[in-house]
């Protein structure tokens, strides 16, 4: 398959690009390197020393003998170049990761709220419009989020795969109707993914575009079989309060002797997936697109659910790390249940990778290897959901002696 | 009340601004004059000779003794000026009309699709972000559309006021849940209003913004008591295939002896409201905002429903005009039922203006007075929902002798 990976330099995009290339697909990455630029803005770096995209691609050629193309293009603002690229490449499939993906960053300031909405909505809409205009018949697999559903909305009922069958009361009795699961986003970032869903529904209906929306859980882990082949291929590891995500942050914190930062009670239950499964899921989705005329296919890209506090305790038990309860900068329920359906992925052949000591240790090893690169002032989450909400000071000021 | 009217130079915005000023409110219009610029792009003009915004405001001062402020500002791109304006004016209420509002225009080309999404989403989101950032506590009344609900989705059940109570099946029996009515937009334009709804829901929940969304039907008529006071205050009258709307177009067509253009079977049932009621509804909404912390209030701003073919027959019977059945450039159901709830507006005091010979005649009179300004090549709707759909040629090449 000729695959165009939009956002192929990011945390999920890079390992996905390598995996697809390794599996024999003809991959081109399109990325404006915005994630690296946001690092500069936040004055933080990936814990792992990621190389330039040029060196990454050169290394991959050296290691695998395979070539991945690269185009530096801003999907949100360079529409004409996108059209030209689609006409030149005529991809069979497009993976769309090209959105600002951190909830805390999206809530930092008016500027980051606006950037998140402007960038994400325009990136997605430009892609859809360009496919209609060029008549390039590529299936899209888009990275959505489990966060579109919200948490606790349907009590103990499992979260379905995108669509919910409800009964609508009418004067003539109940009508059964299938609806897109009601949107309950918890941040501006999550909200943009609920906007994407409405764009997808319209363009699938009006123009017959073939779209799969992957509602992904929280990704953990760093390396895949491909990124581990050479240090120069190493994937990002975000540990900071904006871009770092909960399980990876705990593992990094344990590695450097920092208390595990639980914001709120830790009663939040969330869905998780290992990065090695992310890349597999994307290929499965690309190989099983919906037909033209179908509504968007929605797959819940996750393999297990955990309460935050249970993860903290697990890691604390294994490593001896303390647990610190910090004020929650988010406005969210203190606790929730979460049961999620992923039947379609299982039926399509996904063999889930779940939490194991081996994988946790792999992550801790990486964090330990690069711990000297950590900036301790970046660990506590301080992007608040409303002005004036309380935040914590730093919990640790020096790394342990080498 | 200090009221800021965003988009106050347009078809609904201008008469609303005059009405609110006449009712004693302190009105400032903010508009980038985009509607006039789109006229230039489409090579068409309002049938009525509208004056510059400067002459309009000067005339209003002369006629009423009241001053309306004006700021030329692009809400979608001039965020910092918006923030400064809010801090300077500190409005009690904001009416938000500042979106591209024609479905056919939104489907004309990749460029107009992109403009509609980029402009509408950013205009709305910038407003919300600016209110959060400045902490200006203004209630918002936003012009939405009945088109967010779609047509025929719930059979013969009435369209509720924004929210629908459904039963969600769970292992423990049905859960009753109130949801935003599922979005079923029929065009890119309508889709942007479904995106607005999700923005409103989030900012009401996270930041306590007070928002009323007015799901308006198709507006007909031209003049209000205020715009009729002086010819220089006259409102727009759009008759072209992109911006003209069905009932006004029929009245104009009858006035010039053009066949009434029914696209498709005419079995489409739509909701209508007279412009005189639009302006009243907006004031009612401003005077009855939701409380901080409430979900957005949704009001269906319409007074009656009609089948397109019934309107054509009514006008044909009165005027002797022919009815022409043309290919439908839209992708929509050939026919649908439509029953709409507007209980809240009635309870808040709206006394509906409905279809009457007097009001129809007033509209025909205006069309007749200015018929020499009509461009007959602009009447047939040719913006198609998918490339390659059939359209009709012109039905008339010369105006009748004077």
* A260–B contact, CB cutoff 8 A: no
CB contact under 8 A, A132 and B110: yes
Tracing tokens 């009932």 back to the chain, one arrives at: B247
Residue of A nearest to B118 (CA): A122
pLDDT of residue A152: 86
- Name chain B contacts of A112, Cβ cutoff 8 Å: none
What number is the ipTM of this complex? 0.97
Question: Hey, is B164 helix, strand or coil?
Answer: strand
Residue A67 bears catalytic tag: no
Q: How far apart are CA B305 and CA B53, in angstroms?
A: 33
Structure tokens at A143: 């990275």
Catalytic residue from among B124, B145, B222, B305: B145
Name the helix (H) or strand (E) containing B257: none
CATH assignment, A2-236+274-302+337-352: 3.40.50.720
pLDDT of A339-395, one tens digit each? 999 999 999 999 999 999 888 999 999 999 999 999 999 999 999 999 999 999 999
Q: What are the helix (H) ranges across B135-245?
A: 188-207
* A179–B contact, CB cutoff 8 A: yes
Q: How far apart are CA A271 and CA A275, in angstroms?
A: 13
Q: List the domain boundaries for chain A.
A: 2-236+274-302+337-352
- Name chain A contacts of B164, Cβ cutoff 8 Å: 168
How far is the CA of B131 from the CAs of A132, A282, B87, B99, B204, in angstroms? 36, 39, 10, 18, 11
pLDDT of B370-389, one tens digit each? 999 999 999 999 999 999 99
The predicted model scores a pTM of: 0.98
pLDDT of residue A402: 73
Residues of chain A numbered 66-95 and touching chain B (CB < 8 Å): 79, 83
Residue A189 bears catalytic tag: yes
Structure tokens at A279: 């890349």
CATH assignment, B2-237+272-303+337-353: 3.40.50.720
Find the mean pLDDT for residues B149-171: 91
Instruction: Judge contact between A230 and A294, C-beta under 8 A.
Output: no
Instruction: Judge contact between B398 and B376, C-beta under 8 A.
Output: yes
Confidence of residue A57 (pLDDT cuts 50, 70, 90): very high
pLDDT of residue B172: 86
Confidence of residue B20 (pLDDT cuts 50, 70, 90): very high
Of B155, B172, B198, the CB nearest to A175: B155
- Name chain B contacts of A194, Cβ cutoff 8 Å: 198
pLDDT of A178-206, one tens digit each? 999 999 999 999 999 999 999 999 999 99
Q: How far apart are CA A141 and CA A6, in angstroms?
A: 10
pLDDT value at B402 more than 80: no
């Amino acid at each position: 398959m000729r695959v165009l990976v939009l956002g192929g330099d990011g945390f999920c995009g890079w390992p996905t690009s390598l995996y697809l290339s390794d599996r024999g697909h003809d991959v081109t990455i399109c990325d404006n390197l915005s994630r690296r630029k946001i690092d500069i803005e936040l004055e933080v770096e990936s814990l792992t020393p990621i190389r330039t995209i040029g060196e990454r691609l050169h290394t991959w050629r050296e290691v695998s003998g395979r070539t991945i193309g690269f185009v530096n293009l801003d999907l949100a603002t360079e529409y004409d170049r996108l059209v030209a690229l689609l006409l030149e490449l005529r991809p069979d499939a497009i993976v769309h990761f090209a959105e600002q993906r951190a909830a805390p960053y999206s809530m930092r300031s008016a500027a980051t709220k606006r950037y998140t909405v402007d960038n994400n909505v325009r990136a997605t809409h430009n892609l859809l419009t360009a496919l209609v205009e060029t008549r390039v018949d590529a299936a899209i697999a888009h990275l959505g989020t489990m966060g579109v559903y919200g948490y606790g909305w349907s009590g103990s009922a499992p979260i379905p795969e995108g669509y919910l069958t409800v009964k609508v009361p009418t004067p003539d009795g109940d009508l059964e109707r299938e609806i897109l699961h009601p949107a309950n986003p918890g941040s501006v970032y999550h909200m943009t993914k609920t906007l994407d869903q409405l764009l997808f529904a319209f363009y699938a209906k009006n123009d017959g575009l073939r779209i799969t929306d992957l509602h992904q859980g929280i990704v953990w882990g760093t390396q895949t079989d491909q990124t581990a082949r050479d240090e120069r291929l190493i994937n990002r590891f975000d540990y900071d309060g904006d871009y770092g995500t909960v399980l990876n942050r705990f593992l990094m914190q344990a590695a450097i002797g920092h208390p595990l930062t639980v914001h709120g009670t830790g009663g939040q239950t969330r869905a998780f997936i290992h990065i090695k499964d992310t890349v597999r899921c994307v290929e499965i989705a690309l190989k099983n697109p919906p037909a033209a005329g179908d509504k968007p296919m929605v797959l819940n890209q996750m393999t297990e659910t955990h309460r935050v506090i249970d993860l903290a305790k697990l890691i604390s038990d294994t490593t001896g790390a303390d647990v610190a309860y910090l004020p929650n900068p988010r406005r969210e329920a203190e606790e929730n249940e979460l049961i999620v359906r992923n039947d379609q992925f299982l039926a399509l052949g996904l063999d889930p990778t779940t939490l194991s000591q081996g994988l946790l240790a792999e992550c801790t090893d990486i964090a330990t290897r690069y711990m000297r690169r950590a900036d301790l002032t970046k660990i506590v989450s301080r992007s608040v959901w409303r002005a004036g909400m309380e935040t914590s000071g730093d919990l640790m000021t020096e790394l342990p002696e080498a």
